[in-house]
Structure 1
Amino acid sequence: MIWTAVLLMAVVSHVNSVDYCYNEPHCDTYAWGDKFPSCHPLLEEHHSPINLDHQMTRNESLGPLHLEGFDEIQTGHWTLYNDGHSVVLQVGSGMSVSGGGLPDVYHTMQLHFHWGGPATNGSEHTVDRRRYPMEMHIVNMKSIHPNLSVALDDPTGLAVLGFFIDVVYADNVNFGHISQKLSSVAYNGQITKVKPFSLMSLLPKHNMSQYYRYYGSLTTPPCSQAVVWTLYEVPIYISWSQLAQFTSQIFSTEEDAEQVTPLQNNFRHIHPTFSRIVSVSKDGRLLTGTAGRPLRSAVSVLQIVLLGSFVSKL
């Protein structure tokens, strides 16, 4: 059943792949509204992503979320596929998210990534107007809804957990469960099996009580304003070579693969918060950290070693 669903999603993504893009003027993020009216941001509409700055409000009631099943290794298999716009890991059933101010229990569906290029950062949300190299989204659907279409009509139908991704000198062994499979999903429609692993092993598990919360939208068409966003302060760390696997080995189409034109900078532009409240969790540090510096073609060994030393102490 899950495999059939993934195949269907891949087919739908293939049909829609010509309708929007990131880097072509006729279909980039600013043109999405031409074909997807709900992607056209009007005054006071709640679109995502946003910039995170010091104009936030601490909410003492926002404690750690309960991530049911994230520590366990699920049965069966997961599927990794290329939808023409990103790489998506479909995780099946067995995991859910609740607590932390969420209005309901949300079932975990999938996770996917947004990235930049060899010399550009590519997170969707920014911190003080600066981007991290990548961003990972874990998408969860409210348990009362029978399908995604119904959930998208609910202002809190989805709960998305966002994690910034930064780079260090050493490979992230747990992240290798995904990065080592990327060559099998090089372009749109390709699918491969992934042996389930503990999803918590990917996350900054000692800092999961530090996050930001706001209400927004999907960052891809149809841009439905149906998302409760939880963005974690402490990033996931991967190696430069693991980052390069995304920026150089993933393509939108088979033709792009043949022409060696990789998918890069697959992030939506920043939107104003307008009257929305952006909250900081009880243990959040109010942006005392900083986003990763823009990537450069060469980085000093001293910088990398110092960053690696910092990470080992987290």
Structure 2
Amino acid sequence: MDLKDRKTGGLSTILIVFLIGYVASDADFGYDSGEQMGPEHWAEHYQACAGKYQSPIDIDEMWVKRTSLPPLEFEGFYDLPMQTKITNNGHTVLLELNQTQEVVVKGGPLNGSYTFAQLHFHWGQNDSVGSEDKINSHSYSMELHMVFYKTEYESVKHAMDYRDGLLVLAIFYEAGDLDNDVYAEITDSLPKIETPNTSYNLRKGFTLRNFLPHNVQRYFTYYGSLTTPPCLEIVTWIDFKHPTRLSHRQLSAFRKIRTKGGLLTHNYRPLQPLSDRVVYYNAEDYIPKSGTLRTAASLLLMSTATITAFVML
């Protein structure tokens, strides 16, 4: 089905609900194998979940294509929001920021700018699992997704009509013994939103730069999908290579979040086939050559015939 055909009906509604942070029914999907709406049954209700370019994937560094892309640019990432709301929507812990101006990402593999919508987390039953994408078959303890929509499409609702509609910045987490102070207000607030469909306004808040790794120019990037129903294939993924460390105590606090059916001990989707996609690794400093400068998107699209299905944004 062409993405243009998805602009009305239940799929659009659920996508907007999940991305913007309002609450869909907990019956819409689950994460346990064998349950009525577990991951193996998503495609029975959401056709795109059986698509060819689904996420998450296992990124094997032996097979990535090393490249040199223009620097990623981050606008508004150092601005403290006027208000930060943390929500348990029954599927994840989600944060929305009330900013005085738009927070934007551009550069790198992106063709145009992308505006921040929200961020949320994925975690596992214990500290040995939890991330959705894996690197060399290694699962990290947790994964953060910063969700952006392409600025020219003006909203998440309109962006979902296009293959290059969304950008997700993914940050991985490893478990350690010491608390990470950057996340203290978030993890300390989790008991206030243990019940599904509850929210709490953080007192201090944070800047988005606090969440990014020190080196933001080393990352993997590929074309994929939302990792929750309706699984639309409209996402450019940027997975930062270097993980952030959280304490065992902070990680365990996420597993006390509840759904209607009990504790939300894990919320990561099983791995999906890579198919014929190319995963790129930005491994070298970018040095533009006079007379040969093109957008990163056009260079990557020309690299292989199969990548015409991959809109490197």
Give the alignment's TM-score, normalised by structure 2.
Answer: 0.80
Contact 1:10 1:189 in 2 (8 A): no
2:229 matched to which residue of 1?
221
Q: Is 1:180 aligned to residue 199 of structure 2?
A: no
| 1:280 matched residue in structure 2 | 281
Matching of residue 65 in structure 1 with residue 72 in structure 2: yes
User: Do the aligned partners of 2:164 and 2:235 also contact (CA within 8 Å) in 1?
Assistant: yes
Identity fraction in percent: 32
1:77 to 83, 88, 91: 83
| Aligned partners of 2:193 and 2:199 also within 8 Å | yes
Distance 2:207 2:47 in 1: 39
Q: What is aligned with 1:298?
A: none
CA distance in structure 1 between the partners assigned to 2:33 and 2:259 by the alignment: 13
Query: Of residues 195, 210, 215 in structure 2, which corresponds to 1:201?
Result: 210
Q: Which residue of 1 aligns with 2:304?
A: none
Residues 153 and 174 (structure 1 numbering): CA distance in 2 closer, same or farther, change over 3 Å? Answer: same
| Cα shift at 1:177 | 2.4
Counterpart mapping for 1:138-149 below 5 A: 138-149=146-157
The aligned residue for residue 88 of structure 1 is 94
Distance 1:9 1:59, change over 3 A: closer
8 A contact 1:6–1:90 mirrored in 2: no
Instruction: Judge conservation of contact 2:143–2:171 (CA < 8 Å) in 1.
Output: yes
Pair 1:129 & 2:137 matched: yes
Partner of residue 28, structure 1: 38
Deviation at 1:91, TM superposition (A): 1.7
1:106, 1:142 within 8 Å by CA — same for their partners in 2? yes
- Give yes or no for contact 1:38–1:222 (8 Å, CA) kept in 2: yes
**Over residues 196-223 of structure 1, what are the superposed CA-to-partner deviations in whole Å (9 max), with x where a residue is unaligned?**
3122122222x11110010000000110
Cα separation, 1, equivalents of 2:23 and 2:266: 22
For 1:119 and 1:209, the matched residues in 2 are separated by 27
The equivalent of 1:270 in structure 2 is: 271
Query: Aligned partners of 2:40, 2:237: CA distance in 1, in Å?
Result: 22
Runs of 4+ displaced beyond 3 Å: 5-12
| Contact map agreement 2:21 2:94 (CA 8 A) in 1 | no
Q: 1:37 and 1:164 mapped to 2: Cα distance?
A: 29
- Please tell me the residue identity of whatever aligns with 2:54: H
Q: Secondary structure at the match of 2:250?
A: helix
For residue 51 of structure 1, the aligned residue among 53, 58, 81 is: 58
Q: What is the letter of the counterpart of residue 202 of structure 1?
A: F
The letter for the 1-side match of 2:92 is: S
- For each residue in 1:68-90, what CA deviation from the matched residue of structure 2 results, as whole angstroms up to 9, or x when unmatched? 1112212x201110111100001
Q: Could you tell me how far 1:10 is from its partner in structure 2?
A: 5.5
> Which residue is 2:305 aligned to?
none
Aligned equivalents of 1:35, 1:97: Cα separation in 2: 33
Does residue 19 (structure 1) correspond to residue 28 (structure 2)? The answer is yes
Q: Which runs of 5+ in 1 are unaligned?
A: 285-314
Cα gap change, 1:280/1:11 in structure 2, threshold over 3 Å: closer, same or farther? closer
Q: May I ask how many residue pairs the two structures share in their alignment?
A: 265
Q: Cα deviation per residue 1:104-138 (whole Å; 9 max; x = unaligned)?
A: 11111111000001364110001111211111100
1:116 alignment counterpart: 124
